[in-house]
Amino acid sequence: MKNITLSADDKLIEAARARARAEQTTLNEQFRRWLADYVQQEQKTESAMALIEELRGQVRTGGRKFTRDEMNER
């Protein structure tokens, strides 16, 4: 595991540490979770966009435009 150095306001760091303690974890562990989520968000977005592009080539409406009500029908 690689160490990094971050800078933040002292009061913010202490408040974050207090919250982490209350959640029975550490600020370091919370940062690792945040970093993993941060990276996964981009990957999920890219996957979703790839699926949309794939479906765009497969869905045919014959040029028909749907009304708002039709698109929201369940």
pLDDT of 59 reads: 78
What's the rounded Cα separation, in Å, for the pair 8 and 12? 7
CB 33, CB 41: distance < 8 Å: no
Distance between CA atoms of 47 and 42, rounded to whole angstroms? Answer: 9
Helices 10-22 + 27-56 axis angle, to 10 = 90
Quote the pLDDT of residue 58. Answer: 83
- Each of the 74 residues of the chain gets a pLDDT tens digit; together they read 899 999 999 999 999 999 999 999 999 999 999 999 998 998 899 999 999 888 887 877 888 888 999 889 87
pTM above 0.75, yes or no: no
> Helix (H, G, I), strand (E, B), or coil: what is residue 44?
helix
Q: Is the dihedral of CA 65, 68, 58, 55 positive or negative?
A: positive
